[in-house]
């Protein structure tokens, strides 16, 4: 297996993801947790040093354990990883006069197995740079294998020791052939085989859960979404009926959703499930609340209360399981720099583990959404369930700008059902990352039959995305939009106008609140 030493880059997990895609198993460990004893036990076949926000010049900035360079194994340093490797092996690094961010073209200046398949000497390759420092003297034994206009050491190699450094990020999609470069490193240089699969991930995840949980009991909050469902089924395979699921129906879910969840888990999987139907409590807590953050916090807080009551009734547990995915933790893994700005308070059961004295189990923490879906298939979850669009924890409340009422939630549920039905009929559901309707707190004048109407505007949203972090609006054809609008206005009382949202993310977010 391969070891990724993490220096806190926002994209470190993408390295793992690219490796998994080419069948390589790896683990990511923060630089300050990797010491000689750890390395001995882990026995990596190769090491990748990630990028990071620090500058090699700063006082006490992170270093790789020197032992990494003495084990006779291949090492690839990316960005900060390249710089610290150079600094540690006798080269030097200085602040660059020209900082390079974003797109750049490297020119290959020497043959190397790292660039096999890209093109030979003189070939120009598009890459993505993000760095303020640059290497200005390379350690003995190294030579440049690629340059850019501003970086004479955009990529360097010591072929005899199998040490490589790149100043760009091969792991991001903006380096179109970065995956090939990583694959060259693992398959050609480190002679790894690439026979790891999601089935193997499942077995490892089950083993890890058993090791962590021992003979303890686990409670898992089921939201009805793909993530928590996959986490629950995985846990059930690992520890059987020592798992209890708690499902809270907030009354803010989509049409028919609560019933589907209960049926799938109780009937199909036979997993112990406590279901709490709390529509009234949630709606009354939300009465008159129109600020988006207050709404999110109100729902989050009440959710925790309800969850706690039900978890206690179910007899409590030693562990709380959550379907946290990598993009959810991305902010908390960067150790340098101040806290990130809160765009939206995400809804989860944060705070609960301390209150109830439970430890956390998060078996999906390393995965991206599409990988969770693949794991779900591996676990035998029905395709229609695994392929469902994401749905936010605060539910329809954040799709009703302004104060939420039962009447509005019902109107939205009805319109949303028609919209999704038409998307399915048109065969577009799987091409879209997420589609939903938003009920606007705006009334406009219309005419139906011979009468004047004065009803709500409904906005339709549909986006494509890889991981929810960026998104593009979906280019429906006009006939489709017209058909949906007509059906909604005819069938849903309370809506007399339909508009389509053509904002991408950024600058918009996917949800409206
Ligand atoms: P935004 O609106 O921030 O959403 O572009 C990105 C993705 O996250 C979902 N989302 C949430 N999911 N709890 C969740 O579990 C939340 O509080 C929450 N808010 C947004 C959103 O639906 C989209 O898929």
List, for residues 299-313, the tens digit of each pLDDT value: 999 998 999 999 898
Question: So what's the pLDDT on residue 347?
Answer: 60
**Catalytic annotation present for 123:** no
Ligand 1 atom 3, closest CA:
509
Question: So what's the pLDDT on residue 331?
Answer: 44
Given the cut 0.85, state whether the ipTM is greater than it.
yes
Mean pLDDT of 103-118: 96
Question: So what's the pLDDT on residue 167?
Answer: 93
Mean pLDDT, the chain, whole residue set: 91
pLDDT confidence band for 337 (50 / 70 / 90)? very low
Of all atoms in ligand 1, which is nearest to the CA of residue 394?
17
β-bridge pairing 26-30 and 2-6? parallel
Mean pLDDT of 249-278: 93
- Catalytic one among 82, 100, 125, 171? 171
CATH superfamily of this structure's domain 198-386: HUPs (3.40.50.620)
Residue of 341, 390, 464, 505 to test ligand 1 pocket, by largest number of atoms within 8 Å of CB: 390
| Ligand 1 centroid, distance to 299 Cα (angstroms) | 14
| Ligand 1 centroid, distance to 231 Cα (angstroms) | 18
| Ligand 1 centroid, distance to 392 Cα (angstroms) | 5
Bridge-partner residues for 507, per DSSP? none
Residue of 304, 468, 472, 513 to test ligand 1 pocket, by largest number of atoms within 8 Å of CB: 468
Question: So what's the pLDDT on residue 8?
Answer: 87
pLDDT beyond 50 at 462: yes
SS3 99: strand
Ligand 1 atom 9, closest CA:
392
Q: Where do the CATH 3.40.50.620 domains begin and end in the chain?
A: 198-386
pLDDT beyond 90 at 469: no
**Closest of 121, 123, 135, 122 to residue 168, by C-alpha:** 135
Q: Where do the CATH 3.30.300.10 domains begin and end in the chain?
A: 405-500
| Ligand 1 centroid, distance to 328 Cα (angstroms) | 9
Is the separation of the CB atoms in 348 and 354 below 8 Å? Answer: no
Q: Topology of domain 2-189, per CATH?
A: Rossmann fold (3.40.50)
Give 152 or 463, the one with higher predicted confidence: 463
Question: So what's the pLDDT on residue 286?
Answer: 98
Is the separation of the CB atoms in 78 and 15 below 8 Å? Answer: yes
Q: How distant, in Å, are the alpha carbons of 245, 311, 345, 430 from that of 282?
A: 20, 18, 18, 32
Quote the tokens at residue 327.
Answer: 């993009």
* Ligand 1 residue neighbourhood (C-beta within 6 Å): 344, 346-347, 390, 392-394, 434, 468, 505, 509-511
| Ligand 1 centroid, distance to 64 Cα (angstroms) | 36
Residues 6+ apart with CB under 8 A from 300: 345, 347, 348, 350, 393, 394
Quote the tokens at residue 94.
Answer: 């200085």
The number of angstroms, rounded, from the C-alpha of 467 to the middle of its chain's C-alpha atoms is 6
Rounded to an integer, what distance in angstroms lies between the CA atom of residue 482 and that of residue 477? 9
pLDDT confidence band for 339 (50 / 70 / 90)? very low
- Catalytic one among 79, 86, 220, 245? 79
Q: How distant, in Å, are the alpha carbons of 23, 95, 321, 466 from that of 1?
A: 11, 34, 27, 27
pLDDT confidence band for 36 (50 / 70 / 90)? very high
Question: So what's the pLDDT on residue 133?
Answer: 83
Residue of 511, 512, 513 to test ligand 1 pocket, by largest number of atoms within 8 Å of CB: 511
Ligand 1 atom 21, closest CA:
392
**Catalytic annotation present for 169:** yes
Model confidence over 210-253: pLDDT tens digits?
Answer: 999 999 999 999 988 899 999 999 999 999 999 999 999 999 99
- Catalytic one among 26, 82, 169, 220? 169
pLDDT confidence band for 442 (50 / 70 / 90)? very high
Model confidence over 42-95: pLDDT tens digits?
Answer: 999 999 999 988 888 877 889 999 999 999 999 999 999 999 999 999 999 888
Among 9-18, 209-218, 501-510, the minimum mean pLDDT is found in 9-18
**Closest of 358, 354, 283, 255 to residue 314, by C-alpha:** 358
pLDDT beyond 80 at 386: yes
Bridge-partner residues for 244, per DSSP? 219
**Catalytic annotation present for 86:** no
**Closest of 88, 189, 65, 185 to residue 140, by C-alpha:** 88
Q: Topology of domain 405-500, per CATH?
A: GMP Synthetase; Chain A, domain 3 (3.30.300)
**Closest of 451, 438, 422, 420 to residue 495, by C-alpha:** 438
Question: So what's the pLDDT on residue 340?
Answer: 44
Model confidence over 422-433: pLDDT tens digits?
Answer: 999 999 999 999
Is the separation of the CB atoms in 326 and 14 below 8 Å? Answer: no
């Amino acid at each position: 297996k391969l070891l990724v030493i993490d220096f806190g880059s926002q994209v470190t997990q993408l390295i793992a993801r690219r490796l998994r895609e080419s069948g390589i198993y790896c683990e990511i460990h923060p630089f300050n947790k990797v010491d000689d004893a750890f390395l001995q036990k882990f026995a990596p076949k190769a090491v990748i040093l990630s990028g990071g926000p620090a500058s090699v010049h700063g006082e006490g900035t992170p270093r790789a354990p020197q032992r990494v360079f003495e084990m006779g194994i291949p090492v690839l340093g990316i960005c900060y990883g390249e710089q610290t490797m150079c600094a540690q092996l006798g080269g030097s690094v200085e602040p660059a006069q020209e900082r390079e961010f974003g797109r750049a073209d490297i020119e290959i200046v020497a043959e190397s197995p790292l660039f096999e398949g890209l093109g030979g000497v003189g070939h120009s390759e598009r890459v993505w740079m993000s760095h303020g420092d640059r290497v200005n003297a390379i350690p003995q034994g190294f030579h440049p294998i690629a340059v850019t206009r501003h970086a004479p050491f955009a990529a360097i190699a010591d072929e005899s020791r199998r040490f490589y450094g790149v100043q760009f990020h091969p792991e991001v999609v903006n380096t179109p052939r970065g995956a090939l470069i990583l694959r060259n490193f693992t398959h050609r240089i480190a002679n790894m085989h690439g026979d790891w699969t999601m089935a193997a991930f499942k077995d490892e995840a089950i083993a890890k859960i058993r090791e962590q949980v021992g003979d303890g009991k686990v409670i898992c909050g089921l939201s009805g979404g793909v993530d928590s469902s996959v986490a629950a089924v995985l846990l059930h395979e690992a520890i059987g009926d020592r798992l209890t699921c708690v499902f809270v129906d907030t009354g803010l879910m989509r049409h028919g959703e609560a019933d589907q969840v209960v049926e799938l888990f109780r009937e199909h999987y036979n997993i112990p499930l406590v279901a709490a139907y709390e529509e009234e409590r949630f709606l009354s807590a939300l009465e008159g609340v129109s600020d988006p953050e207050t709404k999110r916090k109100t729902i989050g807080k009440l959710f925790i209360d309800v969850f706690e009551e039900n978890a206690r009734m179910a007899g409590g547990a030693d562990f709380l399981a959550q379907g946290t995915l990598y993009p959810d933790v991305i902010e908390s893994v960067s150790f340098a720099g101040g806290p990130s700005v809160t765009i939206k308070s995400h809804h989860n059961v944060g705070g609960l583990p301390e209150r109830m004295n439970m430890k956390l189990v998060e078996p999906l923490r390393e995965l991206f959404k599409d990988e969770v879906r693949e794991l779900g298939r591996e676990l035998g979850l029905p395709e229609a369930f695994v392929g469902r669009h994401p749905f936010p924890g605060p539910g329809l409340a954040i799709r009703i700008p302004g104060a939420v009422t039962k009447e509005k939630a019902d109107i939205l549920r009805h319109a949303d059902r028609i919209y999704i039905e038409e998307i399915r009929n048109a065969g577009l559901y799987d091409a879209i990352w997420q589609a939903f309707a938003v009920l606007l707190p705006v009334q406009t004048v219309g005419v139906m039959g011979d009468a004047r109407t004065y009803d709500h505007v409904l906005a339709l949203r549909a986006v494509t995305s890889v991981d929810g972090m960026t998104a593009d609006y979906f280019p429906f054809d006009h006939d489709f939009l017209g058909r949906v609008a007509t059906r909604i206005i005819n069938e849903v009382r309370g809506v007399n106008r339909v508009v389509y949202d053509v904002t991408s993310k950024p600058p918009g977010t996917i949800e409206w609140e």
